[in-house]
Amino acid sequence: MATRSRRPGAKAALLPVLLTGALALAACSGGGSSSAPASGGGGGAGSKTLVIDTSFDLKTADPGRTYEPTGLIVGKAAYETLLTFEGSDVTKPVPALAESFELSKDGKTLTLKLRKDATFADGSPVTADDVVFSLNRVRDMKGTPSFLLDGVEVAKTDDTTITLTSAKANAALPYILPNPALGILNSKVAKEHGATADPNDKAEQYLNSASAGSGPYTIESFNVSSQVVLRANAKYWGQAKPAYDKVVIRNVEAATQKLNISRGDSQVALNLSGDQVAGITGDLQVTRTASANVIFLLANRDPSVSKVTSDPKFAEAVRKGVDYAGLLELAGEGSVQAPGVIPSMLLGALPPEAAAGRDVEGAKAALKESGLVNPTVKLEYPSELTVNGLSFQPLAERIQANLKEVGITVDLVPAPVTTALDNYRNGKEELGLWYWGPDYPDPSDYLSFLPGKLVGLRAGWKAGADKELEAAGDKAAAETGEDARKQAYTDIQTKLNASGPFIPLIQPGQNIVTASSVTGLKFNPVWTVDVAGLGVK
């Protein structure tokens, strides 16, 4: 008698096995997805199509509402600003649509002379009225970037002169103006499509389908989740004409970005981690630069949140207990240690030699002085967040191991970003691992770390907690001279490192991989990559 081949239950029994396989496959696939570009992909420099792969952080193409990294790349290509930065140097704003600018001695008035030869993509000239309309629109629409121009009055003095007046000294303004969010719109076109320069402004829909700027590229199509296609502006007024006829910016996960660029499906990959670029071979070019993001630890100063971390000696023990070199090893090439909260490329950054070093004995001594015996603290961090391809998870685990040697037990409390942000923003984290990217490349943005200010409060550091430091902050904000500002901000950071609740850790590297055919790549901390600056070999 023949036996039955399989029992009915056998299929069900196999299901978990298949699911295991799926789990393993999921791990190996990296979860990436890549959609082919509309043009058919693979368009190398020869066909004058450039394909850029990046993990999208994109909400809109309306410059007045843009504040996300991918949006700034698009904005920089399609719109121009009054001032700009050359290449990677964000310490010196240079004229763009303006031909010159001057900040008054009291730092309250910025006067800009407008170029006469600049034109929009439709051929009409860029006028002072367009400038006033565009900047007022950003400020009054109350979109994400409107804070950049808070309290700034924009006025047209004559057809080629614009004045920006602030109530208080605002030496940061020339560093704020290059932000692509402050790109100048063709006001006539924008108004025709619903732009009213107030919260009821309805031009976003139009600006998500076409562009109304004077930049070297125009927006051909825009999809917030898959790809943005830029077309060269045939009537571009500037000297440097766009090198590519078409630029496709695609939403691709980091692991897939690496595959795509390795097999020639794309020419630029923006989000590879240090570990991922380590395996890059062939004739691809890898640009490794420190990003402007500073990853830091905060030890909450509020005794009601933690009796342990509120002791300044605890923060000292952590500062001395962390193995910075070990963290840099995790972050990969291109990363640098952050000596202070202000990143290395900004005015007022501390020199690398001012960075903290590991001193386990010193850390133990500081802990002993605090009177804390084998303290246990919770370290909260966003579990799925990556900064420049670097995940917070291994960093937190390394810090945990480092502090264990000092005698501090760290319980890791990873949470999804939205959950973790709640505790962080409400100043409820005992020990937190976060990062800060500059809103604009000026040290005044980092006054937020002082007591009673945005980030200070997140560390339970209330106003009045360190009056000397707060006074130094007020003085720095009022300074206008470059040297005086530089000195003021380095002094603030030195004091912040000595007594503050923040422990600056590292600036992860920004690794950009380009095909050998692509030239002119420069990482810029504000807009990551200037598409118009990319050329063909």
Partner 1 sequence: MKLPRAWRQPLAITGGVIALAWFVIALSAPLLAPHDPLAQELPRLAPPGPGHWFGTDQLGRDILSRVMYGARLSIPLTLLLVAMSVLVGGLLGAISGYFGKWVDETIMRFADLVFAFPTVILAMVVAAALGASLANAVLAVLVVAWPAYARVTRGLVLGVRQREFVLSGRLLGFSAWRSLRVDVLPNVTGPILVLATLDIGTALLLLSGLSFLGLGAKPPSPEWGAMVASGVEVFDSWWVAAFPGLAILTVVLAFNFLGDTLRDALDPRTARAIKERAL
Q: Name the site residues for partner 1 (rule: CB under 8 A).
A: 1, 3-4, 7, 9-10, 12-17, 19-21, 23-24, 26-28, 30-31, 255, 258, 273, 275-276, 279, 326, 329-330, 383-384, 391, 393-394, 396-398, 400-401, 411-416
Which one, 273 or 344, has the nearer CB to partner 1? 273
Tell me how far, at minimum, the Cβ of 43 lies from partner 1, in Å: 25
Which one, 186 or 266, has the nearer CB to partner 1? 266
Which one, 16 or 123, has the nearer CB to partner 1? 16
Which one, 327 or 472, has the nearer CB to partner 1? 327
Tell me how far, at minimum, the Cβ of 289 lies from partner 1, in Å: 22
Instruction: State CA 324 to chain mean position distance.
Output: 22
Q: Left if phi > 0, otherwise alpha if psi is -120 to 50, otherwise beta: which for 374?
A: left
Which one, 224 or 415, has the nearer CB to partner 1? 415
Tell me how far, at minimum, the Cβ of 119 lies from partner 1, in Å: 46
CA distance 79 to 130: 12
The torsion angles phi and psi of 364, rounded to 5 degrees, stand at -65, -40
Tell me how far, at minimum, the Cβ of 401 lies from partner 1, in Å: 5
Tell me how far, at minimum, the Cβ of 429 lies from partner 1, in Å: 16
**Residues with Cβ within 8 Å of residue 18, at least 6 apart in sequence:** none
CA distance 341 to 435: 10
CB 318 within 8 A of CB 403: yes
Residues forming beta bridges with residue 164, ordered by sequence position = 110, 154
Which one, 18 or 155, has the nearer CB to partner 1? 18
Tell me how far, at minimum, the Cβ of 12 lies from partner 1, in Å: 7
Residues 187-223, buried b or exposed e (16+ Cβ, 10 A)? bbbbeeeebebeeebebbebbbebbbbbbbbbbbebe
Tell me how far, at minimum, the Cβ of 171 lies from partner 1, in Å: 41
Which one, 5 or 225, has the nearer CB to partner 1? 5
Give the pairing of strands 246-251 and 49-54.
parallel
Would you call 187 helix, strand, or coil by DSSP? helix
Tell me how far, at minimum, the Cβ of 276 lies from partner 1, in Å: 7
Start-end of H helices in 200-302:
204-207, 254-262, 274-278
CA distance 67 to 72: 7
Residue from 502, 523, 505, 528 nearest 329 by CA: 505
Q: Which two tokens stand for residue 409?
A: 């037990």
CA distance 458 to 425: 6
Which one, 118 or 330, has the nearer CB to partner 1? 330
Tell me how far, at minimum, the Cβ of 388 lies from partner 1, in Å: 13
Query: 482-499 and 467-478 helices cross at what angle (nearest 10)?
Result: 160
Give the pairing of strands 409-415 and 518-519.
unpaired
Tell me how far, at minimum, the Cβ of 20 lies from partner 1, in Å: 5
Q: Which two tokens stand for residue 162?
A: 């614009």
Which one, 23 or 454, has the nearer CB to partner 1? 23
**Residues with Cβ within 8 Å of residue 508, at least 6 apart in sequence:** 274, 290, 291, 293, 295, 331, 332, 334, 335, 387, 388, 389, 390
Tell me how far, at minimum, the Cβ of 9 lies from partner 1, in Å: 6
**Residues with Cβ within 8 Å of residue 471, at least 6 apart in sequence:** none
Which one, 39 or 393, has the nearer CB to partner 1? 393
Which one, 230 or 363, has the nearer CB to partner 1? 363
